[in-house]
Amino acid sequence: MAMSKSLVALTHRNFRLIWFGLLASFTGSFMQNAGLLWHVSLLVPPERRGLALGMVGLAKIAPVYAVRGNIDSSASSLPDVLTLDVTYDGKTLRIGKKGAQSTNASAPLSAVMTA
């Protein structure tokens, strides 16, 4: 029986192990996040629920942006560093060497890379 092209990768044991492991891990992380938000929503008064849930999200992402700034500044000080910067919402795309970066997300990738 022939397997479709999209499922051929599942014939490799290591590929199956990593993907099923990731599926279990993401499921657990998603349940943990849902439990945390549910718990916070029970602890705060209803009129402050939105603010409290927003603060949970801010507390989770603030360290990422704090560390990211230090990494960007140290990487840009090195000569001929190839950088790739895609923001969370996908509105900014910078690919290239230091000093030759584009922030035009609508430009073709080849045009941005050769800039």
Q: Are residues 22 and 58 both part of a single domain?
A: yes
Give the count of alpha carbons within 13 A of 42, CB side only. Answer: 6
Average pLDDT, rounded, for the chain: 74
Q: Are residues 89 and 70 both part of a single domain?
A: no
Confidence of residue 9 (pLDDT cuts 50, 70, 90): confident
Number of structural domains in the chain: 2
Query: Domain range for residue 39?
Result: 14-77
Q: Are residues 18 and 52 both part of a single domain?
A: yes
Whole-angstrom Cα distance, residue 40 to residue 51? 11
pLDDT of residue 96: 52
Q: Are residues 22 and 50 both part of a single domain?
A: yes
For residue 38, tell me if it sits in a domain. Answer: yes
Q: Are residues 46 and 88 both part of a single domain?
A: no
Confidence of residue 112 (pLDDT cuts 50, 70, 90): very low
Confidence of residue 92 (pLDDT cuts 50, 70, 90): low
